[in-house]
A and B are shown apart, each in its own frame.
Chain A
Amino acid sequence: MYVYDAFDHRFVAARVAQFRDQVNRRLSGELTEEQFRPLRLMNGVYLQLHAYMLRVAIPYGTLSSRQMRRLAHIARVWDKGYGHFTTRQNIQFNWPKLEAIPDILEALADVEMHAIQTSGNCIRNVTADHFAGADPDEVADPRPYAEILRQWSSLHPEFTYLPRKFKIAVTGAAADRAAIRFHDIGLVVVRNAAGEIGFEVHVGGGMGRTPFVAWKLKDFLPQADLLSYVEAILRVYNLYGRRDNKYKARIKILLHEAGLDKIRAEVEAEWAEIRDGALKLAPADVAAIAAQFAPPVFAERVPESAIEAAASAADAGFARWVASNVRPHRVAGHASVTISLKPIGGVPGDATAEQMEAVATLADAHGFGEIRVSHRQNLILPHVARDDLPALYAGLVAAGLATANAGLITDTITCPGLDFCALANARSIPIAQEISTRLGDAARQAEIGPLEIKISGCINACGHHHVGHIGILGVDRKGREFYQITLGGSADEQAAIGDSAGPGFWPEEVPGAVETLVATYLALRSDPAETFLATYRRVGLAPFREALDHGAR
């Protein structure tokens, strides 16, 4: 993991002291709410429906067990005993008191964490593939590059007041698990014919009111030019991005309106000016950062674990969990484990302080103390020996964290929605809970196979509904909650935005509509191996839409 150096420590500590002073000045009346609001937002503090909400960055989704314990401590001492993991690999605390937030930030700084740039029109927390460093098919670990980008973008004076927020995601594998095609900049680590490392650069992807799949701006950007090229993109955006209309201010609109060729030409011209300047990455500097992400020392293991096999034979629940939540690792005899935060009928993405501590303990015992947060609102232990899987599973069962549903229909992405969010039109969580309860039977889920439901409580699309195989969007219909369904969206390397499946549903109709879609899929699929998405791509919208029109109400 990246370890703060003296500069980082001073920088974050100074920021905490500065915010403490700002809170004091607000409480003493020196600052008005209008003056204070932008300052608190720059430190991740929102005012939501019921309370302040603190959004804490988890850079590229990587956490140590020590950091996880600190998050648990914060949840217990300053919140109501739980936290909510989000689609941006952040954690949100829903109930902190304003007067306590400087203490929380100090507690975070102590474990090398902060909430800087988790809000505002700046470059936000850089996200990455949650299986980084563990995936068998990875070209290179994307996190050193994410860290380099984080250092470059932290308090970047030129990009602190962009037209709108700006999100960067990096993956080191061709299989896109970081939704990079739905970010302002998406980077894929690739190798060219000469074997050199570089990046495929995608730009202008996004969801929200006007969703776009990113345009590919460059096939191969040499590693040394990462920062200068990204800076050139940001400069072009900062110059031409619209500031007259908040809804047209993201770089995707600029790409859409100006066109790829024009933007590419502008970026190339800007890049030519700065390419050989101070931002050039020296191989030694990249290596120094990469060394901080060096993999743990794996013990030699046989590929097939007899201990795991025996446990699978003895315990069907364990076998089911392995089938859905455990995936191959690049090192023989090891695996990456998804810890589902989607208990059947529970709140997607929530973890209690006790659960966070249990995960930290299990990570220390079985996973080199390393934890990841996935944008799918689950936790990951990236490096686990297969021999350890039964013991890990037992620990997860004891903590209420052994739900065997990763990638299945109850593994929804769900935003906080109207239960918490000041921008929401409709609730998300109860819809997810009801779908999960109705479809949560293990055999049923296994029969249905991979199916991603994603739910947003408003068009801002924090719940990624546009890219759900089944997407659910909450809207306001004459003062009542109402839900529109989209089908066929996908956040992976075959990125697609879902198609509207008709006029929509009242809340109580939504779970039935999902059941109708599932039944339609099961009847239409060519064989059990054809996934919902593959079936949808083969047959199209019409049969699903027809089934909804006739069956759901």
Chain B
Amino acid sequence: MQVVTANRLIDGRVVFRGADGGWVETIGAAVVLEEGAAAAAVAASAADVAARLIVEPYAIDVATEAAAIVPRTMRERIRASGPTAGSEAVALAALGRDA
């Protein structure tokens, strides 16, 4: 099973192709497709590249675990849910810490 992902042109943020062909920010709202359908969805996404909504669409392998959509690779899990470390939250927390 696959979902189609890309980065949004204007701000670079990670997006996923939703059921209506629009682009959503959370993988939970992505449409899960069989491989062939995913390839077709990638091809169809070319229109959104041309329309300057997204760049570099591609399909990723996912599993559905307890109704959640989970990418199979660490890279895509990190793309879907953000940095596991080094985020602004960590840096801000360090501010209050005693050295």
CB<8 Å pairs between A and B, sample of 29: A33-B49, A47-B12, A47-B55, A48-B12, A49-B75, A50-B82, A51-B13, A52-B12, A81-B91, A82-B91, A82-B92, A97-B10, A97-B11, A340-B99, A346-B94, A347-B86, A347-B90, A347-B94, A350-B86, A350-B90, A352-B94, A400-B99, A419-B83, A419-B87, A426-B74, A429-B83, A429-B85, A433-B85, A480-B74
The answer to whether A352 and B84 touch across the interface, beta carbons within 8 angstroms, is no
The answer to whether A420 and B86 touch across the interface, beta carbons within 8 angstroms, is yes
Give the nearest-CB partner of A480 in chain B: B74
The answer to whether A27 and B95 touch across the interface, beta carbons within 8 angstroms, is no
Which one, A50, A321, A401, A420, contacts B14 given CB within 8 A?
A50
> What is the distance, in angstroms, from B36's C-beta to the closest C-beta of chain A?
23
Give the nearest-CB partner of B99 in chain A: A402
A427, B86: Cα distance in complex, Å: 11
- Chain B interface, number of residues (Cβ within 8 angstroms): 34
The answer to whether B73 and A346 touch across the interface, beta carbons within 8 angstroms, is no
In the assembled complex, A306 has its CB within 8 A of some CB on chain B: no
In the assembled complex, A351 has its CB within 8 A of some CB on chain B: yes
The answer to whether A343 and B97 touch across the interface, beta carbons within 8 angstroms, is yes
**If A49-B78, A418-B78, A429-B85 touch, does A399 touch B12 (CB 8 Å cutoff)?**
no
Most chain B CB within a 10 A radius of its CB, from A98, A355, A416, A418: A418
Q: Mark A417-452, 1 if CB is under 8 A from B, else 0.
A: 011100010110110010000000000000000000
> Which residues of A are found within 8 Å of B95, using beta-carbon distances?
352, 354-355, 399-400
The answer to whether B91 and A33 touch across the interface, beta carbons within 8 angstroms, is no
A-B pairs, 7 with minimum CB distance = A402-B99, A80-B88, A419-B83, A97-B11, A52-B12, A51-B12, A82-B91
> What is the distance, in angstroms, from B5's C-beta to the closest C-beta of chain A?
11
The answer to whether B14 and A481 touch across the interface, beta carbons within 8 angstroms, is no
Q: Mark A477-506, 1 if CB is under 8 A from B, else 0.
A: 001110000000000000000000000000
Q: Mark A385-423, 1 if CB is under 8 A from B, else 0.
A: 000000000001101111110000000000010111000
The answer to whether A351 and B91 touch across the interface, beta carbons within 8 angstroms, is yes
Give the nearest-CB partner of B49 in chain A: A33
Which one, A49, A99, A404, contacts B11 given CB within 8 A?
A99
> Which residues of B are found within 8 Å of A195, using beta-carbon distances?
none
In the assembled complex, A157 has its CB within 8 A of some CB on chain B: no
The answer to whether B13 and A50 touch across the interface, beta carbons within 8 angstroms, is yes
The answer to whether A347 and B85 touch across the interface, beta carbons within 8 angstroms, is yes
A49, B72: Cα distance in complex, Å: 16
B interface vs A, CB < 8 Å? Answer: 7, 9-14, 49-50, 52, 55-56, 72-75, 78-79, 82-88, 90-92, 94-99
The answer to whether B10 and A27 touch across the interface, beta carbons within 8 angstroms, is yes
In the assembled complex, A29 has its CB within 8 A of some CB on chain B: yes
Most chain A CB within a 10 A radius of its CB, from B13, B56, B72: B13
> Which residues of B are found within 8 Å of A430, using beta-carbon distances?
84-85
> Which residues of B are found within 8 Å of A404, using beta-carbon distances?
99
The answer to whether A479 and B85 touch across the interface, beta carbons within 8 angstroms, is no
The answer to whether A352 and B91 touch across the interface, beta carbons within 8 angstroms, is yes
The answer to whether B86 and A429 touch across the interface, beta carbons within 8 angstroms, is yes
The answer to whether B11 and A346 touch across the interface, beta carbons within 8 angstroms, is no
The answer to whether B10 and A99 touch across the interface, beta carbons within 8 angstroms, is yes
> Which residues of A are found within 8 Å of B14, using beta-carbon distances?
49-50
A399, B88: Cα distance in complex, Å: 16
A346, B85: Cα distance in complex, Å: 9
The answer to whether A52 and B11 touch across the interface, beta carbons within 8 angstroms, is yes
Which one, B9, B52, B55, B94, contacts A343 given CB within 8 A?
B94
The answer to whether B56 and A33 touch across the interface, beta carbons within 8 angstroms, is yes
A347, B56: Cα distance in complex, Å: 30
The answer to whether A50 and B9 touch across the interface, beta carbons within 8 angstroms, is no
A426, B12: Cα distance in complex, Å: 21
A355, B92: Cα distance in complex, Å: 10
> What is the distance, in angstroms, from A291's C-beta to the closest C-beta of chain B?
38
The answer to whether B86 and A81 touch across the interface, beta carbons within 8 angstroms, is no
A72, B92: Cα distance in complex, Å: 13
